[in-house]
Chains A and B, each alone.
Chain A
Amino acid sequence: MARAVSYGGDDLNLEATELRLGLPGSDGHEKQSSSATVRSNKRASPDVAEDQSARTKSNNSIVSDAGNGDGDSAPPAKAQVVGWPPIRSFRRNSFHGQAKKTEGDGAGMYVKVSMDGAPYLRKVDLKVYKSYPDLLKALEHMFKFTIGEYSEREGYDGSEYVPTYEDKEGDWMLVGDVPWDMFISSCKRLRIMKGSETGGLGCL
């Protein structure tokens, strides 16, 4: 790799080619600097221009960053750049649900919780909880009741309350059967069923 070829900045021998910039006024290099200002002014906010010029590594690296003209203002250093990392939208869409869950950012995942006999419904953010015991403890606390012990065979044994949820297909399912991540992504609302209504779900 020890080739010591040096290229001066203007050593492209443009005169040898037919094509010239041929633009009225000064040469290309100057134009680039001035156009930077012009372009920055067209951007959404002055903050963006400052951010960008602060981050340029050299005179010539006038590059735009986030939000290609979508009107969003000042991206901080770690903001998402459009189309980067280069992942196909098909894959991105498959994953975005996953990524958001683990990051715990964004809007939260609030679902309604109803309890048979309670006068009004509550809402919980499923993303706040890491596991079933976490969630169930919170529900017990919220509605002042106790849930029985979960087992795959018996369901919830030892209490007349049974936690259930409505999944994406509209079916009412027993809370606890599927892996936690799968539960979070399919749970639309929760219902704590009580007594006679459980139809034996409390102890299968």
Chain B
Amino acid sequence: MQKMAGSSFPEEVLEHVFSFIQDGKDRNVISLVCKSWYEIERWSRRRVFVGNCYAISPRMVIRRFPEVRSVELKGKPHFADFSLVPDGWGGYVGPWIAAMAAAYPWLEEIRLKRMVVTDEGLELISKSFKNFKVLVLSSCEGFSTVGLAAIAANCRNLRELDLRESEVEDLSGHWLSHFPDNYTSLVSLNISCLTSEVSFSALERLVGRCPNLRTLRLNRAVPLDRLANLLRRAPQLVEFGTGVYASELRPDVFSNLSGAFSGCKELKGLSGFWDAVPVYVPAVYPICSRLTSLNLSYATIQSPDLIKLVSQCQNLQRLWVLDYIEDTGLDALAASCKDLRELRVFPSDPYEAEPNVSLSEQGLVSVSAGCPKLQSVLYFCRQMSNAALRTIARNRPNMTRFRLCIIEPRTPDYVTLQPLDAGFGAIVEHCKDLQRLSLSGLLTDRVFEYIGTFAKKLEMLSVAFAGESDLGLHHVLSGCENLRKLEIRDCPFGDKALLANAAKLETMRSLWMSSCCVSFGACKLLGQKMPRLNVEVIDERGPPDSRPESCHVEKLYIYRTVAGPRFDMPPFVWTMDEDSELRLS
């Protein structure tokens, strides 16, 4: 190879050095050093992450990075998880697959989140990439078990098939039988979102012939008495998700299951436990001390049984659980699990105003005091106080993700009846590395002032039913230097703050605002003035120009893009740009 003019190292050396750098951000920095580094880097980049599939076109990615082996794409805005994005909004992966099928014959990995995938797309994947290894479909939709059958049948080198929380049209469990008899390379299988039964014998044979299987997450339809057989065929499992964890108590089934669990010496993570019954929980006791990750968020067991279980998991790092654990259970957690890094407490009865369990702010305070490594929290509760939040903040300045959901909107501090501004203010002030924050409860513009002042590392903020005026939004947009994603619903934020901070929007991935006070006129203005933003108005009431310009839009999604406006929008989405005046009139 030729030595590049003006460079001290031959290309191969630089390429070799670059091969040690995997992180996309680092590679982006490298590519800016000089033209030759840009060239060498782009030919050697193997992994691409596109946080918003509409921020760039497949063609542009392929043109710059011709030798990619791994692609990760995200589609719909996060609030799509909560049904705030109407069906048909977009996020179609089809064009990406088609383009990559032609350009990346050696593609190995596709990871998608909140995208629409079709059976045709899956079939195209299965036939286009001879060395395809990893397919992760997180919260995706649009495909059926027919597509899965194609993947199973054609991907000879498949290692990972992970369907986490996707919505799959489950026509039958037969697709699993499409894995050929000589297929043995499975490392990770997650079918927990599927509703119908897969063929047990096919599953058992598959598990039995794949010696590298590390992760197996079953779906609810797999009965408890089938688990032992599966575990015995895969004693090397590191992560296991049960099916429905309920059955009438039979001593032989129990001891068989317990023995099978014990036989899995590498098992570190458990999940599943749908409808768990207390009598079978002790079957996992023998392995509790090894567990680092436990997802009990579908287990309907009550606090006493949860306490017994959790008290034995001294090495637990991650716990997802229902609020059945109650404050007493969280006390036990705080006492036993000193290595805890992540806690998520989900509500068992979220639509009921009255609490059904004895879970309050106290539980979270306990854990914050007892678990020095706690850095990631998602907590649903019905009451909170500024004092508790202040205590949590002081206890855990190492917090990086703090998502609090007080179930009733606009709930004040239950002790003082004041807004919770000061409490969240304490969180952002003490937790200097806070990256993600979700607010709830009664909040004025003050809390946003605190956030803008202190939350300098904040990357993602979720706001609902909060604030009093545009000032709140202005504080956040002008103060949070590292803000990438902002999602807001039902807040009185409007035109002023948005337009005054328009330039900020180009430094962020996206902004979502629904049921706020942004006028159609402001959206048009923003779209006209900011060509590198797509300003999408989502309104199911009909064309926004059929109403006065001052009328508030239902939903607004703004994201930066180098690909221009998209053309796959449904009838209830309009992109505001220079032409929008012409198109809409």
Interfacial residues, chain A to chain B (CB-CB below 8 A): 1, 3, 5, 7, 9, 12, 14, 17-24, 28, 31-32, 34-35, 38-39, 42, 57-58, 60-65, 68-69, 78, 80-91, 94-95, 98-99, 102-103, 152, 177-179, 181-182, 185
Among B343-368, those with CB < 8 Å from A are 346-353, 356
Chain A residues with CB under 8 Å of B469's CB are: 9, 58, 60
A35 near B550: Cβ-Cβ < 8 Å? yes
Which residue in chain B gives the minimum CB-CB distance to A168?
Answer: B221
Q: Is B492 an interface residue (CB 8 A)?
A: yes
A156 CB to nearest B CB, Å: 15
| Residue in A19, A78, A177 with the greatest tally of chain B CB atoms within 10 Å | A19
Given A5-B449, A21-B499; A94-B554 close (CB under 8 Å) = no
A19 near B490: Cβ-Cβ < 8 Å? no
Q: Is B171 an interface residue (CB 8 A)?
A: no
6 A-B residue pairings within 8 Å (CB atoms): A12-B471, A23-B550, A61-B467, A64-B490, A87-B346, A102-B356
Given A28-B494, A60-B468; A85-B347 close (CB under 8 Å) = yes
Which residue in chain B gives the minimum CB-CB distance to A103?
Answer: B352
Which residue in chain A gives the minimum CB-CB distance to B164?
Answer: A90
B197 CB to nearest A CB, Å: 9
Chain A residues with CB under 8 Å of B438's CB are: 86
B248 near A90: Cβ-Cβ < 8 Å? no
CA–CA, A59 and B499, complex, Å: 21
- Contact among A21, A35, A84 for B409, CB-based, below 8 A: A84
Chain A residues with CB under 8 Å of B347's CB are: 85, 87
Q: Is B407 an interface residue (CB 8 A)?
A: yes
Among B379-413, those with CB < 8 Å from A are 380, 405, 407, 409-410
B492 near A58: Cβ-Cβ < 8 Å? yes
- Contact among A57, A63, A87 for B82, CB-based, below 8 A: A87
Top 9 nearest A-B pairs by Cβ distance?
A83-B82, A31-B550, A61-B492, A60-B492, A64-B515, A63-B490, A90-B165, A19-B499, A69-B540
B474 near A28: Cβ-Cβ < 8 Å? no
A182 near B246: Cβ-Cβ < 8 Å? yes
Q: Which of B52-60, B204-212, B516-524, B576-584 contacts A (4 or more CB under 8 A)?
A: B516-524
Q: Which of B1-9, B63-71, B149-157, B541-549 contacts A (4 or more CB under 8 A)?
A: B541-549
Q: Is B92 an interface residue (CB 8 A)?
A: no
B453 near A3: Cβ-Cβ < 8 Å? yes
Chain A residues with CB under 8 Å of B298's CB are: 94
B468 near A18: Cβ-Cβ < 8 Å? no
Chain A residues with CB under 8 Å of B467's CB are: 61
B246 near A85: Cβ-Cβ < 8 Å? no
B305 CB to nearest A CB, Å: 13
Q: Is B139 an interface residue (CB 8 A)?
A: yes
Which residue in chain A gives the minimum CB-CB distance to B501?
Answer: A17
Interfacial residues, chain B to chain A (CB-CB below 8 A): 79, 81-84, 139, 165, 167, 193, 246-248, 274-275, 277, 297-298, 300, 346-353, 356, 380, 405, 407, 409-410, 422, 425-426, 429, 438, 445, 449-450, 453, 462, 464-465, 467-471, 474, 489-492, 494-497, 499-500, 502, 514-517, 519, 521-522, 525-526, 529, 540-541, 547-552, 554
CA–CA, A38 and B552, complex, Å: 9
A1 near B554: Cβ-Cβ < 8 Å? no
Which residue in chain A gives the minimum CB-CB distance to B81?
Answer: A88
CA–CA, A185 and B405, complex, Å: 29
A99 near B351: Cβ-Cβ < 8 Å? yes
Given contacts A1-B422, A7-B445, A35-B550, 4 further A-B contacts (CB under 8 A): A7-B471, A60-B470, A94-B298, A178-B246
| Residue in A3, A14, A38, A84 with the greatest tally of chain B CB atoms within 10 Å | A84
A177 near B248: Cβ-Cβ < 8 Å? yes
Given A68-B515, A87-B82; A35-B551 close (CB under 8 Å) = yes
A60 near B517: Cβ-Cβ < 8 Å? yes
CA–CA, A23 and B405, complex, Å: 38
A68 near B348: Cβ-Cβ < 8 Å? no
B101 CB to nearest A CB, Å: 29
- Contact among A17, A34, A89, A99 for B83, CB-based, below 8 A: A89
- Contact among B300, B494, B496 for A98, CB-based, below 8 A: B300
A21 near B492: Cβ-Cβ < 8 Å? no
Given A94-B298, A179-B246; A19-B550 close (CB under 8 Å) = no
B352 near A99: Cβ-Cβ < 8 Å? yes
B519 near A35: Cβ-Cβ < 8 Å? yes
A39 near B552: Cβ-Cβ < 8 Å? yes
CA–CA, A14 and B547, complex, Å: 26
B496 near A28: Cβ-Cβ < 8 Å? yes
B541 near A69: Cβ-Cβ < 8 Å? yes
CA–CA, A82 and B549, complex, Å: 26
CA–CA, A95 and B324, complex, Å: 14
Given A3-B453, A182-B246; A80-B490 close (CB under 8 Å) = no
A86 near B405: Cβ-Cβ < 8 Å? yes
B119 CB to nearest A CB, Å: 20
Chain A residues with CB under 8 Å of B450's CB are: 1
Chain B residues with CB under 8 Å of A32's CB are: 494, 517, 519, 550, 552
Chain A residues with CB under 8 Å of B193's CB are: 90
Chain B residues with CB under 8 Å of A181's CB are: 275, 300
Which residue in chain B gives the minimum CB-CB distance to A90?
Answer: B165
Given A9-B469, A12-B497; A19-B525 close (CB under 8 Å) = yes
